[in-house]
Structure 1
Amino acid sequence: MPGGAAAQPAIGGGPDLLPRQPKSVEDTGLERSLIVELIAKDMSIAGKTHLSGLTGALRLPINVLREALDFMVKEQLAEVAWRGASDVDVQYRLTAAGKQRAAVCLERCAYVGPAPVTLEAYRAMAERQRQRQRVGAADVAAVFDDDDFDPGVLEQIGAAMHSGRSLFLYGPPGGGKSTLAGKLGALLPGMVALPHAVLVGQEIIALYDPALHLPPAPPYALQARQAQERRSGDARWTLCQRPVLRVGAELCPEMLALRHDGYSGSYQAPLHLKANHGMLVIDDLGRQRIAANELLQRYMQPLDAGLDQLTLRGGHKFSVPFDVLLVFATNLAPQSLLDASFLRRLGYKIHVGPLGARGYAALFRRQCRAASLACDDAVVRHLLERLHGASGRPLLASYPHELLGRVADFAGCAGLAPSLTVAALEQAWNSMFAACDMPAPGLAGDLCETIQ
């Protein structure tokens, strides 16, 4: 039956990669009228259209399209404009009645693109693809091999990723929280199948975003390409890396719910739905236009239940699987940001603070190599003992890159090749911090924010 036939999609194109290609309109789980509507809207924009062009635009196989087009020809909504030697070498165009039908459809919903999958099909595939991988110490070491995070921090990261529970990263600005969070996605192996759009009732929800859902990386790229080229899989789905979405202070309440596009008449999926089967990193927690407690309240129930409830404009509510690893990062004190009850419910609380002297020196030398700057031990000692030591400024991971960038700026302005000397390092250091920002004995805190 339409709307229910895809409740348990068969798998094609390799084990558990793509649902099988539908062989008829009924197999798609969609009403024939919706497919006719999508064809009419596409043809009204493109004009005379080849059957292969419709296949690419709607991501439906020729058999399905031909079944719908035969109906359109019978109902005098479309006609054959040209026919070649083979039965698939056909061009169609809309009749006057078809153009009128397309205009009405576009007025109601201007969505033109791949045919959606049913909500039942999405739920079934989402359950098949739930994250079940277990991260080990070797995986963490491989991802953070070029970093100098404290071993204790990496042990906590490994345990958190192994558990699949949420992470809460906190610590001073410049400590490396954003860098750490940005690399966590590399610990999510494999690939997932995502639909371009999902149909809920009569409403289309756009889900796939090529800017966020990236093609599979090695060693999965070849397998993905073979699965897509085999043509036994449902082309309404596409294979991609496990998504890693990152948002900061720009996060607002509207991004946590379905958003209706008044122009297209369709919906945009909320951030966490686009991040399903992957990771959502919320950076700068506490800087958003939504209170941190309210933000966590929005996600606590889905985290506990593994399901999220969304609402359409008319008030219709429906549930979708919630399979997202949430990562929060902040430079604010946790106790001032969140209630104790919320802190308890967060999975792993990990402090990311200043580096040790050895790790900081190693990071500085590596940044020098990346900038093609010679670095001797005297410069490193001066940085650690005189600049950091005398000022009491912590060994934050953000400083080396910023310092070396300023060394290059001063040299470039003078028309010279950059050279890392003690004098050049001091010049860069003195330009980084406002006088009122320097730590001073007896003061409870900084008088103004650090210039990062």
Structure 2
Amino acid sequence: MRNDTLAFEEEAIRQIAPRPRNLAETGLAQDFLCDLLAKHCYWGGILNQQQLVERTALAWPVLESLLNFMRTSGYIEILSPNENSMLLRYSLTERGRNLALDAQLKSGYVGYAPVPLALYERVVQAQSIHNNVVTREDMARVFKDVVIRESVLDQLGPAMHSGRPIFVYGPPGTGKTYTGMQLLGLLDDSILVPYALAVGDYVVQFFDPSVHHPLASADKSAQFMLDEGHDPRFVRCRRPSVITGGELTLEMLELAHDATTKQYFAPLQLKANNGIYMVDDLGRQRVECTDLLNRWIVPLEQKQDYLTVGSGTRFPVSFDVVLIFSTNLNPLALADEAFLRRLGYKVRFDVLAPEEYESIWRQVCKKHAIAFDATAFRYVLELYRREDRPLLPCQPRDLLGLVMDQCRYQGLANQVTDERLACAWSSYFVRPVSDPEPLAHGKPDTLHPASNPLVINKENRIC
């Protein structure tokens, strides 16, 4: 991303979430922030002005009013600057330590001041992923090096800005997951992600470094300067992408609560807001598929999700994601037609034609500096034909990877031969124990089905 683009986006982002200059503009109550400050001082010991600003992401005028209140209330005392700094230092009194302990019993969160839910809602809507318009040229740019049918791209492109979910289905290995994650390349802008959310008196930790990736080029020098930058309670990140598979449970879609530390953590779909969330391997989760699909009905229809904190307080929050379901199973076995109609876009991924398979094979060879051998390629196609196996996009990478493993083991340069392909084939595919190993001698046109019964009966083969 170019520097001038970054500067333009930074100005736009500052308009979305301006830096709060006083207590009222933080959207948080005075008592709430005093509790947070007391916990910082309890765990951090004696802290100076700059340390308090950095720990809370609040401007000094906001902190100064809070600290003056805490001082007059007998919670803190001011210490003179030390010899290494001219900054004032702050320490808890006995009454302040009691305040911190009481605050800790209510919430174990000690971090940046959280963002109130109302402000977060406005930011989410301002940077909605559905505001991005995807064109055919955009799809061609992102998938220029990917072998994929134009008809599939013409379905996925409009789906990205439609606001409707996408349901991709087809045999395993046809590139559903890979294609779904490639779609994030269409979204090269940045968004603001809060470190934490305030829901009433509760704090929900939001930022997750495994999901949210801050811009390396973002200017941090102005992070705590009053007149520059956006609200530092947000971090500027690339749009998130989350993918879950068979491990997904309904509990993972609710707020997580650690009873020991008394902290709440955002669920997956909330972390994915303003980005892409992909439910992969639908139908193989440890929960009934109908229960999992029903969990999405309200968010899909209302563009809002409902989460629960405390003893049962429910609150609405924006649901702003491109939701992608992916499955290897028959869609009609997972959901009825009424639910499938809600999904809007159903995209089938199919097996490859021989020329498409060859294009991917050549790409993998080029990537690893392997000379394309037409004879060896005809041999591998013959193996597919003899065992009646479909041509899948993932297999050139896998088979050639096994060939390169053999070459490294033998201390040889990467080269594809019939013998190495036969060995790779035997390692890669599972066959009935009655089937012999594929032959590697002779040219493909000398391999006759009658002499090598490798064809698996269609009623028994694994699909």
The counterpart of 1:410, out of the listed 387, 406, 411, is 406
Q: Is 1:203 the counterpart of 2:202 in the alignment?
A: yes
Residue among 58, 61, 71 paired with 2:59: 61
Q: In the alignment, does 2:34 pair up with 1:48?
A: no
- Aligned ranges for residues 180-329 of structure 1 at < 5 Å? 180-216=179-215, 221=217, 228=223, 231-329=228-326
Contact 1:150 1:355 in 2 (8 A): no
2:372 aligns to what SS in structure 1?
Answer: coil
Distance 2:427 2:10 in 1: 58
Determine the C-alpha separation between the residues in 1 that align with 2:243 and 2:10. Answer: 31
2:34 aligned with 1:20: no
Partner of residue 163, structure 1: 162
Counterpart code for 1:74: T
Determine the structure 1 residue equivalent to 2:425.
Answer: 429
Code of the aligned partner of 1:113: G
**C-alpha distance 294-239 of structure 1, shift in aligned 2 (>3 A):** same
2:440 is aligned to none
Distance 1:65 1:285, change over 3 A: same
2-structure distance, mates of 1:227, 1:388: 60
Residue 376 (structure 1) shift: 2.0
Q: Percent identity?
A: 36
What SS class does the counterpart of residue 325 from structure 1 fall into? strand
Residue-by-residue CA offset, 1:25-63 (whole Å, 9 max, x unaligned): 222111111111111111111111121111111111111
5+ residue gaps, structure 2: 1-8, 436-453
| Counterpart amino acid of residue 319 in structure 2 | F
**Residue 149 (1) aligns with residue 145 (2):** no
In structure 2, relative to structure 1, the CA distance for the partners of 1:157 and 1:445 (3 Å cut) is farther
Question: Is the deviation greater in 54-63 or in 231-240?
Answer: 231-240
C-alpha deviation, 1:442, in angstroms: 4.8
SS at match of 1:431: helix
Partner secondary structure for residue 424 of structure 1: helix
The CA deviation at 1:86 is 13
Alpha-carbon deviation of 1:390? Answer: 2.0
Q: Deviations over 1:172-195 (max 9, x none)?
A: 111111111111111223221121
- Once the 2 structures are TM-superposed, how far is the Cα of residue 16 of structure 1 from its aligned partner? 4.1
- TM-score of the aligned structures, taking structure 1 as reference length: 0.89
CA contact (8 A) 1:50 1:90 kept: yes
How far 1:225 sits from its partner (Å)? 6.1
Distance in 2 between residues matched to 1:225 and 1:207, nearest whole Å? 20
1:425-447, Cα deviation, whole Å (9 max, x unpaired): 1221122112229884653242x
Superposition deviation, residue 227 in structure 1: 7.9
Residue 382 in structure 1 maps to residue 375 in structure 2: no
Cα RMSD after superposing both structures = 2.4
CA contact (8 A) 1:293 1:339 kept: no
- The count of aligned residue pairs is 432
Asked if 2 retains the 8 angstrom alpha-carbon contact of 1:281 and 1:326, the reply is: yes
What is the aligned partner in structure 2 of residue 177 from structure 1?
176
- For 1:76-115, what aligned pairs fall within 5 Å after superposition? 76-83=74-81, 89-115=87-113
Give CA deviations for 1:102-122 in whole Å, capped at 9, x if unaligned. 122222211100111212212
Deviations 1:258-296, CA, capped at 9 Å, x for gaps: 222212222111211111111101111111112222222
Please give the secondary structure, in 2, of the residue aligned with 1:434: coil
Is the Cα contact below 8 Å between 2:213 and 2:238 reproduced in 1? yes
Contact in 2 for aligned 1:13/1:227 (Cα 8 Å): no
| Deviation per residue, 1:104-158 (Å, 9 max, x gap) | 2222211100111212212222222223111111111111111101222122111
Query: 2:346 corresponds to which letter in structure 1?
Result: K
Distance 1:225 1:344 in 2: 46
**Residue 8 of structure 1 aligns with which residue?**
none
Q: Distance in 1 between matches of 2:366 and 2:192?
A: 40
CA distance in structure 1 between the partners assigned to 2:409 and 2:141 by the alignment? 39
